[in-house]
C-alpha cells in the first residue's frame, strides 16, 4: 500500500446555474492567454508592436483549436464513428481531446494569415511564439488531470496518481495508482520553455528565421516519445508503436533537417523581429545612416 500519492481532484466541472464551468476549458484558456502574453512581451522587446501579436492570435487560436480537435478525431475515429458510438460527441471539445500536432499545424495556418495582414514573416513570429506555445501546452495538460485521463501505467512510486474507480481502465478496475503522465509532460514543457529562452538570450542571432521554433519541435517531440511509452490510454498502433510516436518521429526529423540545412544568419539578422512596414523603414534608415558614416 502506498503511503504517498497524488490525489485526483474531486470534480472537474462547476455549475453557475445552468452554465457548466469546466476545468479542462479553463486550463486551455489559461494556456492561450499566457502564450499570447509571453509572445507579446518578446515581440515588444525585439522592437515590434505588441498589438500585432493580439491580431495574429485572433487567427491562430481558432485555427489551432480546430486543428487539435481534427487531429484527435481523425487519429482515433473509432471513438466516435464505430458501431454504438455517438458521432456528435466528436464536437464535444470540453470533454477533452485536442491533439497538439494538429493544433500547432493548423494554428500555423491561422498565424500565417494573421502575419500576412501585418506584413510579418511567419518564421520570425514562430521564433517569438515558441516559448509561449510550449508553456501553453504545459498549462493545458492540467486539464487532463481534472478529467482524470491520459495517465500512464500502474506504479507504486510516491508521486503515483490516484484515479477514481469510474475513470480506471476496464481491464484493471481494482488498480488505483498510475503514472501522472500529464505532470511529466507539463514539467518537460516548462523545461523546454526555459531552454528556448536561454538559447534565444545566449545565442540570439543564431536561432532566428525559424530555427528557434525548430529547436522547440526537437525538444518537445523528444519528451513526447518517452511519455507516450508510459501512457495506456486508447491509441492506434502500427508495428508496436503508437501513432503519436510516428508523428513525433516525422516532426523531429523535419526539424533536425531544417536546422542542419538552414543557412547561418547574416549580420542583418541582429535586427529585432520585423513587425511591419513602419519598423522595416526605421531599420532601413538606421542601416543607411551607418553606411553613410562608413563612407565619411
The pLDDT tens digits of the residues spanning 58-116 come to: 999 999 999 999 998 988 888 888 888 888 888 888 777 888 999 999 999 999 999 99
> What pLDDT, on a 0 to 100 scale, did the predictor assign at position 288?
46
Which pLDDT score is estimated for 287? 42
Nearest to 131 by CA among 201, 52, 234, 235: 201
The stretches in the chain having pLDDT less than 70 are 1-3, 204-207, 263-296
Q: Which of 29, 62, 143, 135 is nearest to 97 (CA)?
A: 143
What's the pLDDT score for residue 235? 83
- Residue 196: closest CA among 130, 265, 262, 248: 130
Contact 123, 99 (CB under 8 A): no
Which residue is associated with the grid cell 545566449? 202
Predicted pLDDT of residue 65 = 93
Rounded distance between C-alpha atoms, residue 97 and residue 76, angstroms: 10
Q: Above pLDDT 70, what percent of the chain? A: 86
CA 88/CA 239 separation, integer angstroms: 31
Can you spell out the DSSP letters for 231-294? B-S---EETTEEHHHHHHHHHHHHHHHHHHHSPPP-GGGGSPP--SHHHHHHHHHHHHHHHHHH
What is the pLDDT at residue 263? 66
Task: Give the pLDDT confidence score for residue 262 in this predicted structure.
Answer: 83
- The strand pairing partners of 178, in sequence order, are 154, 161
Note whether 284 and 292 are within 8 A (CB): no
Amino acid at each position: 500500500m502506498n503511503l504517498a500519492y497524488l490525489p485526483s481532484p474531486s470534480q472537474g466541472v462547476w455549475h453557475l446555474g445552468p452554465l457548466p464551468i469546466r476545468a479542462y476549458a479553463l486550463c486551455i484558456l489559461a494556456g492561450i492567454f499566457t502564450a499570447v502574453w509571453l509572445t507579446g512581451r518578446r515581440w515588444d522587446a525585439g522592437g515590434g508592436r505588441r498589438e500585432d501579436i493580439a491580431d495574429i492570435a485572433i487567427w491562430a487560436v481558432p485555427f489551432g483549436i480546430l486543428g487539435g480537435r481534427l487531429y484527435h478525431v481523425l487519429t482515433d475515429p473509432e471513438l466516435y464513428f464505430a458501431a454504438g458510438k455517438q458521432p456528435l460527441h466528436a464536437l464535444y471539445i470540453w470533454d477533452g481531446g485536442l491533439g497538439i500536432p494538429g493544433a500547432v499545424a493548423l494554428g500555423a495556418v491561422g498565424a500565417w494569415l494573421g502575419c500576412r495582414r501585418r506584413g510579418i514573416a511567419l518564421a520570425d513570429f514562430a521564433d517569438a511564439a515558441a516559448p509561449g506555445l510550449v508553456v501553453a501546452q504545459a498549462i493545458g495538460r492540467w486539464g487532463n488531470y481534472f478529467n482524470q485521463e491520459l495517465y500512464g501505467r500502474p506504479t507504486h512510486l510516491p508521486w503515483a496518481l490516484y484515479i477514481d474507480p469510474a475513470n480506471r481502465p476496464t481491464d484493471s478496475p481494482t488498480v488505483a495508482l498510475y503514472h501522472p503522465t500529464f505532470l511529466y509532460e507539463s514539467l518537460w514543457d516548462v523545461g523546454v520553455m526555459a531552454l528556448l529562452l536561454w538559447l534565444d538570450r545566449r545565442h540570439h542571432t543564431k536561432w532566428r528565421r525559424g530555427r528557434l521554433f525548430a529547436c522547440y519541435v526537437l525538444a518537445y517531440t523528444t519528451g513526447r516519445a518517452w511519455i507516450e511509452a508510459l501512457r495506456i490510454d486508447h491509441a492506434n498502433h502500427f508495428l508496436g508503436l503508437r501513432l503519436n510516436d510516428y508523428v513525433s518521429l516525422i516532426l523531429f526529423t523535419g526539424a533536425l533537417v531544417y536546422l542542419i540545412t538552414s543557412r547561418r544568419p547574416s549580420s542583418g539578422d541582429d535586427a529585432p523581429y520585423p513587425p511591419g512596414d513602419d519598423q522595416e523603414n526605421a531599420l532601413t534608415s538606421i542601416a543607411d545612416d551607418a553606411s553613410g558614416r562608413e563612407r565619411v
